[in-house]
């Protein structure tokens, strides 16, 4: 029994455990569904007729999986305003998130630089940041709809406003914390202020800035679902809401999973960029 | 003295005291000395007497409360590429490789140079301090303390400044590495016409390296009290230097100063005009060495 003498590597064991948890959850879920269906004959009947009874049961995982297979094999079909592929819906959401997010970055990072470099600006702008930061981004929605008018642009504005704060605060914090020694290196080499900003302060503050950007993209992806539920029309948030109105719980569960997957991918991308600019002193 | 390469005139540094009512804290005052072109000068003094502050003023990174610095007939205002600094803590940019830390400086010095020129020049100095063959591609965090120190020295030498300012450059190194880098430093210095101003706590290091050693009294109200000339001819060898008749005279003088007179002289005024340090020279027939018992080999 030499084989069992040495335990498997941690990584392999964790994978085995993950798969086991998944299998167990899916099995329990699958097994629990029929008994629920059997609970009342009415439910069974209504399910068969496809009616939208509020007591409609949770679908079993097998159904969700086949839905996923069906959706993912043709993610970009477009059959009218209320029937678009999951790929198109996610595309809309990503478009709004990235537009609002990069607009926010374009303002937050230069402004954060300014605040971080100047104690005066820091003190002057701090009260505004402290008041604006805790406002739920969705609270801006009515105002945005009124002022901007367009619902698409309003959703982008909500993303903009929710992603600006972590980036602004982290940039200011990172820039203010750049070691005096490194600034002195720039000074003894007679670098101008622009050159110092790009070759010394930016790389020195980059890990902190990227942390802010990563937090922001996470928040933006959380907020877009809620925003699209409000403004409607397109996007993954609208899709979830629409499928709920259709009482298609299979699609609801599937799209919830997709929201998680896309969020994870966004986070992984920013995580990789963050590792790219990381340095050890 | 006005025609010296570098001349420091009546420098003083005061910090406002924490409680507003009382007197400001004077770290040092009446600091005046000059350095000739090509000289290697060390400055020694107890911790907190203001050596780093003086160096920062020379570098143009800090401003003195009184007095000024004149280099080549021009007043020092702000940092310049004519004055290369090796900071006490190396101050390498940690996100750049050792090589990039050096090219960073070379590019700043020679903005019009091509990539090839910058690389060739940087490698020349990295090789001079014995850093090549792969180590130069590593980040500072992946280098040993001695290697980082050498990168920092290569960076400062690569811009070929007229004046090199070194703040306790070998403080954290073991004896062997320290000796090697000292010799590298001397080799580079001898091959150029650069002037070196170096802070150190190590008496033997100062005697081995310097033409002249400035002695500071304790702070607050510190000043540069003496300028000790090291007349030992170059090139000096580490083994033979101790056999030179002046070696122990100089050494005892320095140790005695640090052990006793730096404290006794603290707060006193110079008797020479302008606060200039008293020159101490050994080896001449009329030795200026003051009368005192010869038992100050403390610290060692
Ligand atoms: N911002 C400041 N406010 C008040 N005092 C200060 C300030 N900066 C430095 N000092 C004082 O100035 C004195 C000189 O500092 P400096 O760093 O020049 O000493 P040093 O001679 O280099 O010491 P060491 O050998 O330990 O490096 C110290 O006593 C320190 O307390
Ligand atoms: Mg110091």
Res B60: pLDDT: 94
Which of A182, A191, A277 is the closest to B108 by Cβ? A191
Res A79: pLDDT: 81
Same-domain pairing of B69 and B216: yes
Q: How confident is the model at residue A2 (pLDDT cuts 50, 70, 90)?
A: low
Reduced to 3 states, what is the DSSP secondary structure of residue B20?
coil
Exposed, middle or buried, A236 (CB in 10 Å: 0-12/13-18/19+)?
buried
Cβ(B37)–Cβ(B193) under 8 Å? Answer: yes
Same-domain pairing of B300 and B201: yes
Same-domain pairing of B254 and B299: yes
CATH of A91-277, one of 1.20.1050.10, 1.10.150.120, 3.40.50.970, 1.10.3720.10: 1.10.3720.10
Q: How confident is the model at residue B192 (pLDDT cuts 50, 70, 90)?
A: confident
- Looking at this predicted complex, what is its ipTM? 0.85
Which of B80, B91, B95 is the closest to A190 by Cβ? B80
Res B185: pLDDT: 87
Res A43: pLDDT: 54
Cβ(A141)–Cβ(A158) under 8 Å? Answer: yes
* In-domain check, residue B184: no
CA distance B258 to B252: 10
Using the Cβ of A187 and the Cβ atoms of chain B, whether some distance falls under 8 Å is answered with yes
CA distance B155 to B123: 11
* In-domain check, residue B250: yes
In chain B, the percentage of residues whose pLDDT exceeds 70 is: 93
Cβ(B162)–Cβ(B110) under 8 Å? Answer: no
| Residue with CA closest to ligand 1 atom 31 | B48
User: How do residues B8-38 score in pLDDT, each as one tens digit?
Assistant: 999 999 998 887 777 888 999 999 999 999 9
The domain tally of chain B equals 2
* In-domain check, residue B8: yes
User: How do residues B45-74 score in pLDDT, each as one tens digit?
Assistant: 999 999 999 999 999 999 999 999 999 989
Cβ pairs A/B, distance under 8 A: 55
Same-domain pairing of B55 and B204: yes
User: How do residues A165-220 score in pLDDT, each as one tens digit?
Assistant: 999 999 999 999 999 999 999 999 999 999 999 999 999 999 999 999 999 999 99
Chain A residues in contact with B109 by the CB 8 A cut-off are: 189
Res A35: pLDDT: 53
* In-domain check, residue B181: no
Q: Residue B37 is part of a domain; what is its CATH number?
A: 3.40.50.300
Ligand nearest to the CA of B216: 1
User: How do residues A103-142 score in pLDDT, each as one tens digit?
Assistant: 999 999 999 999 999 999 999 999 999 999 999 998 998 9
User: For residue A218, how many C-alpha atoms fall within 13 Å in the half-sphere facing its CB?
Assistant: 13
Using the Cβ of A281 and the Cβ atoms of chain B, whether some distance falls under 8 Å is answered with yes
Domain closes at, from B138, B160, B182 = B160
Distances (CA, A) of B236 to B44, B171, B190, B282: 20, 21, 12, 17
| Mean pLDDT, chain A, integer | 88
User: How do residues A46-104 score in pLDDT, each as one tens digit?
Assistant: 555 554 444 457 888 888 888 888 888 888 888 877 778 889 999 999 999 999 999 99
* In-domain check, residue B130: yes
Which of B93, B139, B141 is the closest to A185 by Cβ? B93
Same-domain pairing of B165 and B21: yes
Contacts of B200 (CB under 8 A, 6+ apart): B42, B43, B44, B168, B170, B171, B206
In the 3-class helix/strand/coil scheme, how is B83-143 assigned residue by residue?
Answer: EEEECCCCCCCCCCCHHHHHHHHHHHHCCCCCHHHHHHHHHHHHHHCCCCCCHHHCCHHHC
Same-domain pairing of B149 and B297: no
The length of chain B in residues reads: 300
Ligand 1 geometric centre to CA of B52 (Å)? 7
| Residue with CA closest to ligand 1 atom 7 | B15
CA distance B60 to B76: 6
* Contact check, Cβ <8 Å, A181/B91: yes
Same-domain pairing of B199 and B263: yes
Ligand 1 geometric centre to CA of B104 (Å)? 29
Same-domain pairing of B166 and B289: yes
Range of the domain at B96: 83-160
* In-domain check, residue B179: no
Using the Cβ of A62 and the Cβ atoms of chain B, whether some distance falls under 8 Å is answered with no
């Amino acid at each position: 029994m030499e084989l069992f003498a040495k335990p498997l590597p941690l990584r392999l064991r964790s994978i085995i455990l993950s798969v086991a948890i998944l299998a167990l959850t899916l099995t329990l879920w699958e097994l629990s569904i029929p008994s629920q269906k059997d609970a009342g004959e009415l439910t069974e009947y209504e399910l068969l007729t496809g009616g939208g009874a509020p007591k409609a049961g949770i679908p079993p995982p097998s159904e969700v999986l086949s839905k996923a297979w069906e959706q993912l094999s043709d993610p970009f079909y477009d059959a009218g305003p209320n029937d678009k592929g999951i790929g198109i819906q996610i595309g809309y959401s990503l478009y709004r998130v990235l537009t609002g997010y990069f607009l926010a970055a374009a303002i937050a990072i230069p402004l954060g630089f300014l605040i971080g470099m100047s104690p005066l600006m820091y003190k002057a702008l701090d009260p505004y940041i402290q008041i604006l930061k805790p406002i739920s981004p969705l609270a801006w929605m009515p105002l945005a709809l009124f002022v901007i008018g367009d619902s698409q642009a309003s959703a982008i504005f909500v993303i903009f406003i929710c992603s600006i704060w972590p980036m602004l605060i982290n940039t200011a914090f990172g820039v203010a914390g750049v070691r005096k020694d490194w600034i002195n290196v720039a000074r003894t080499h007679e670098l101008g202020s622009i050159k110092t900003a790009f070759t010394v302060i930016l790389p020195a503050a980059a890990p902190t800035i990227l942390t802010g950007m990563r937090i922001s993209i996470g928040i933006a992806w959380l907020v877009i679902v809620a925003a699209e539920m409000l403004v409607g029309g397109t996007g993954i948030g609208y899709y979830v809401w629409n499928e709920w109105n259709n009482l298609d719980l299979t699609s609801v569960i599937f799209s919830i999973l997709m929201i998680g997957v896309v969020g994870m991918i966004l986070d992984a991308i920013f995580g990789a960029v963050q590792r790219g600019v990381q340095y050890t002193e | 003295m006005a025609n010296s390469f570098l001349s420091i005139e009546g420098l003083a540094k005061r910090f406002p005291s924490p409680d507003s009512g009382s007197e400001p804290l004077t770290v040092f005052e009446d600091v005046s000395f000059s350095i000739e072109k090509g000289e290697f000068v060390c400055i020694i003094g107890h911790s907190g007497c203001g050596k780093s502050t003086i160096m920062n003023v020379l570098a143009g990174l800090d401003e003195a409360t009184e007095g000024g610095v004149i280099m080549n007939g021009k007043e020092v205002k702000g940092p310049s590429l004519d004055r290369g600094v090796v900071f006490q803590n190396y101050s390498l940019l940690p996100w750049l490789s050792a090589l990039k830390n050096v090219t960073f400086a070379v590019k700043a010095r020679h903005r019009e140079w091509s990539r090839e020129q910058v690389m060739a020049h940087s490698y020349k100095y990295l090789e001079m301090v014995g850093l090549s063959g792969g180590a130069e591609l590593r980040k500072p965090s992946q280098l040993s303390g001695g290697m980082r120190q050498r990168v920092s020295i290569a960076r400062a030498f690569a811009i070929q400044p007229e004046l090199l300012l070194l703040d306790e450059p070998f403080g954290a190194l073991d004896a062997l590495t320290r000796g090697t880098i000292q010799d590298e430093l001397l080799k580079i210095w001898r091959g150029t016409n650069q002037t070196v101003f170096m802070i150190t706590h190590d008496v033997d290091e100062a005697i081995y390296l310097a033409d002249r050693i400035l002695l500071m009294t304790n702070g607050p109200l510190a000043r540069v009290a003496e300028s000790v000339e090291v007349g030992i001819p170059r090139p000096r060898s580490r083994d033979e230097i101790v056999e030179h008749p002046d070696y122990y005279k100089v050494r005892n003088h320095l140790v005695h100063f640090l052990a006793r007179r730096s404290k006794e002289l603290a707060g006193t005024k110079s008797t020479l005009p302008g606060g200039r340090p008293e020159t101490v020279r050994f080896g001449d027939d009329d030795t200026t060495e003051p009368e005192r018992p010869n038992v100050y080999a403390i610290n060692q």
